[in-house]
Chain A
Amino acid sequence: MKPGKIGLTNLLLLALLVLGIITAVLLVQLKTGLLPQASSPRATQGAANRSTKAEDALLKTPAMTTKAALSKGLQDLNGTDVGTVTEGLTENSQDAASF
């Protein structure tokens, strides 16, 4: 080949080089965003769950027709240990210590 002359082979190889670089750049930048199929926005479910639970609780709580039923309601309220809602926090902190 004479100096300064660009042959067809050289052009093809140059095109191949450019194509390879472009492909490499695109592949490196490609991100995969996989989510488990069963995943769902828990926060938005909260209100719906709560509404269902309120209805269930009302069905489970019998209508009060006597003063004794009121007393039983009071006993029920006083006997409910609210502290149980935070019982898992210590274990959570232990698990989170290694993050």
Chain B
Amino acid sequence: MITSMVMNLAKVLVLLTLSTSLVLAAAPSPRPHPTSGVMRSCEARVNAINMRSSKMVDQAETMLAKFGSIAARAQEFYTSKVVSKGITVASYDALVSDVQTQKSVAEAILNAASSDLANFSCQSGNPKAQLELFRQDMLSTRAALKTYRQSVINLVKGIHAATPDSL
């Protein structure tokens, strides 16, 4: 009786070991474990890129805010100082409209760049492609900021030209 039980137990243990091994072997290969060398190396690079890229986005946002504040102050000046003297700039509405349009364009592209950055990680399918998207969007942001700045310059120049020297 005891011999039979021991034999059965041995058979079951062998079966259990075999079945567990089969299940483990059939399981899909997981992503690199967070503590593995490859993953740690990837995360270190991603962290460095993220820090640098966040600074670039931050700088673009600061520039966007700066141009906006100069445009706003120039408009205040026009309304309170120039118009009150009975002087108007013929193209003022068009200039203001252009500033608003260029601002919206720059903001939209910068949003896209921020979104690219948020999706950039070792877990994303293709981090290199994601980073390339960010690069393209930052290049577009630079171009959009230049255009936005030019539209603010046009507005300030327009007001400046109409402003009497006595002011």
Contacts and interface: CB of A to CB of B under 8 A. Distances in A.
B45 A1 contact: no
A57 B59 CA distance: 13
Given A57-B66, A85-B145, A91 B52 contact: yes
Given A58-B69, A61-B70, A95-B49, A74 B153 contact: yes
B39 to A, nearest CB: 12
A56 B65 contact: yes
Q: How large is the interface on A (under 10, 10 to 19, 20 to 34, 35 or more residues)?
A: 35 or more
Nearest to A16: B12
Contacts of B19: 17, 20-21, 24
B89 interface: no
Chain B interface residue number, banded: 35 or more
Interface of B is mostly: helix
Contacts of A70: 74, 77, 156, 159-160, 163
B63 interface: yes
A76 B160 contact: no
Contacts of B127: 96, 99
A85 B8 contact: no
B117 A86 contact: no
A43 B111 contact: yes
B110 to A, nearest CB: 7
Interface string B41-57: 01001001100111111
B107 A50 contact: yes
Nearest to B115: A43
B156 A24 contact: no
Contacts of B117: 42-43
A69 B69 CA distance: 13
Given A64-B74, A70-B77, A70-B160, A96 B27 contact: no
B118 interface: yes
B4 to A, nearest CB: 5
Interface in A17-38: 17, 20-21, 24-25, 28-29, 31, 34
A10 to B, nearest CB: 6
A46 interface: yes
Interface of B: 1, 4-5, 8-9, 12, 15-16, 19-20, 23-24, 27, 30, 34, 42, 45, 48-49, 52-70, 72-74, 76-77, 81, 107, 110-111, 114-115, 117-119, 127-128, 131, 134-135, 138-139, 141-142, 145-146, 149, 152-153, 156-157, 159-160, 163-165, 167
